[in-house]
Amino acid sequence: MSASTSVGTRFKTGQQSPSRARYEFDGYVDGTNWPSPTAEERCIELERGETFPPIKSAEKACWWKLTRHL
């Protein structure tokens, strides 16, 4: 994947970011929705090759949705 990856594409905890971009929390991998991430955890910016993190406050893997290339 590259910078041409479309806005709205989802990635999960443990995968690598295909480009420098902003991502938003898009649900937990296990299908649950509780507990909610903190406000600070809901949006992240990653460089190409960085690993998508879990939601630390919930200690859970999650989905991240690409919202904007930087």
Cα 38 to Cα 6, 27, 48: the distances in Å are 26, 13, 24
Distance in angstroms (rounded) separating the CA atoms of residues 45 and 50:
10
CA 46 to chain centre: 9
- What is residue 4's DSSP assignment? T
Rounded to an integer, the average pLDDT of 56-70 is: 97
pLDDT confidence of residue 1: 45
Rounded to an integer, the average pLDDT of 41-50 is: 98
Looking at the DSSP bridge assignments, the partners of residue 66 are 23
Query: pTM of this prediction?
Result: 0.90
pLDDT confidence of residue 3: 54
Rounded to an integer, the average pLDDT of 43-70 is: 97
Q: How far apart are the first and last CA of the chain?
A: 15
pLDDT confidence of residue 53: 98
